[in-house]
Structure 1
Amino acid sequence: MTDGKAERGRGYSMGCATGEGYSANYLAAKHRISAQQARDLLQEVGPDRERLNLTASAVRRAMQD
């Protein structure tokens, strides 16, 4: 095994989500909506994080009214 930080191996980057969409559980926790609402948004909006955040925020505001 090496001590070099540049040589981390395959398993190191497996948990990184760079370039991937949100999971339903993460989206639900972030915007305090139900997991089912988050799954529905992912189906309707797709993996676009910006649009998901805007739509989830709107859902949360509608729940507060």
Structure 2
Amino acid sequence: MERYLSGRRLKKYSPQSKYLSILSTGEGEALLLYRGISVHGKWCWRLKQVIDSSFVRKYK
């Protein structure tokens, strides 16, 4: 926004082409999707908890 307001050239946005998605499905399990591979289980939920906790700690 700063670049736009100051009249400078904007940087081109390049979204990630490879990303990890983890969706909680309840009962302590989750669905993990990565590069066309899908896995469902308790370890996916535990991984989600680790990632989410780490993210929240950064902003406390």
- The TM-score normalised by the length of structure 2 is 0.32
Question: If you compute each CA radius of gyration, which structure gives the higher value, 1 or 2?
Answer: 2
Higher relative contact order (CA 8 A, sep 6+): 1
By percentage of residues, which structure has more strand? 2
By percentage of residues, which structure has more helix? 1
